[in-house]
Structure 1
Amino acid sequence: MRVAIVIPCYNDQRFLPEALATIDGEEPTEVVVVDDGSDDPATLRLLDSLEQAGIRVLHQHNAGPAAARMAGVAVSQAPYVLPLDADDLLGPGSVRALADALDAHPEAGVAWGDLELFRPSGARLFDRGPDSLDPWLITFVNDLPLSALFRREVLLQAGGYQLRDGYEDWDLWMALAERGVRGVRVPRLVERHREHGARRWSQDFSRHERALAVLRERHEDLFAARGANRRRSAAPWRQRLLLPTIEAAAFLSVRNKYRLAHLVSHPLRFFRLQLQRRSEARSTARPHTRRNEP
């Protein structure tokens, strides 16, 4: 098998079966589900049934998704590794397409594709994956998806997923950029990312600010090289012009810096997402009235 798919699970009984169902049989895969200290009886029953069906399930005390992913990587054998969150989905044929891309590009250490955001309301937003891992741009925004396919040795040499308190995927992309790792984009839908209340971490702006400080400390050399990397960056002009300005604006709150950076990076997605959220908020707030019966 070329590919190991590692899925952290913490009380994800509602979503995990759907995630597993999107791993199609087109590409034989090694699947490892890592139980990150679940205490929900329904989830524990599901994990038992998966083990009985032959899926490898690891159990550990709750240590967060980063540690769970790396525990799964440690026991897997395949040369390529793809992390998948238990509440996300894979696009049809995406695993084989990513593996074929790495086979065809030995100079690349990682392959990714396009992303679709979907919400409980049924609203969907398509997000085209970036063409490259840009060492300058990655210090401002993380446009790269979680579910990318890594060469095992590249993932381990970069240190894998390390941060417990969030942005562990952004931290990994920075580590890869520091090492000059090249990537390849596959032009097809790979990850369907579920947006729901439990995943609104990025809206906790005090945690966001603390996490950014950690990233700056851990990747000091990458941030120090911004000037040189900006001259080589393939990022669109609006990002190269506006992202440094937004970051340096002392009068802006962390929340507004976050929103403006995403507006500059993905203007169409930003406005569509805001409209969808407002529409959902109005639908939730609207009182339900019954029609008069004839």
Structure 2
Amino acid sequence: MNWLTNFVRPKIQALIRRNDVPDNLWTKCSSCGHMLFHRDLEQNLHVCHHCNHHMRLTVTQRLNLLFDEKTYTKVPLPKVLADPIKFKDTKKYTDRLKEYRTKTGNEDAMTVAYGNISGNPVVIAAFDFGFMGGSMGMAVGEAILVGADLAVKSKCPYLVIPASGGARMQEGILSLMQMPRTTIAVEKVKKAGLPYITLLTDPTTGGVSASFAMLGDIAIAEPGAIIGFAGARVIEETIRQKLPEGFQRAEYLLDHGMIDMVTHRHQLAKTVGTLLGHLRFQSSGLASLSYVSKT
């Protein structure tokens, strides 16, 4: 029996009431390594005070950041087959889904909502990277389509916010089929003469970047976001050459004409609101969105 471990430590812990002290008071910046107090980090919109690194946001944090007064309405999304190819690796796909649904409180990796940004009506489809790395499966494909249909019916802009590692391998070829499906959905919005805007966040990769993510009429990115198809290491091994410094980062893509602007998180809501104001059509408000409650 270890006297220090089994007797002294429990006594000390009881005295200082360690259980009453939250474990998440501090967050370590993954870029510079500085420890950041959680309240200061929240007030700074999860941007590191020391190196300006933009940390990943949950889908709720992202929507609260953009919509006026954090007010918006979530759109009901259709159910899809839970395990279409009966996939199993170290655990069943259905078990993974249950795990992430409990962890995130969301049914899948995408949320569709509508509201106003700077008084301008907009439909937003946002990824949650915390749900299986924001991987794109059938549920995400359906969500993109629902958002596009809603934007067309309400005659308002469509804003998509990727944060994804790419297609979801647990759904096999069905996940890859979402690439052309979502591309067609985007074309539907454009044919209706409506603005389609993408806000590229860290990371935007794989099949997501190879489809709807890079089709925006205006492509905005957060500073430092990784944007590309294959990973840098895979590319280097394939072409047997050293890649340029900052390759696949938002700033590199901006310099090479792949995106339109890199905007600090503090300025995102204002910038998107200004763009929507310039692009806004004659019809205002979201009265036609009342059909959503009937679905």
TM-score over 0.5 (shorter chain): no
Return the TM-score normalized by structure 1: 0.26
Structure with max Cα Rg: 2
Bigger share in strand: 1
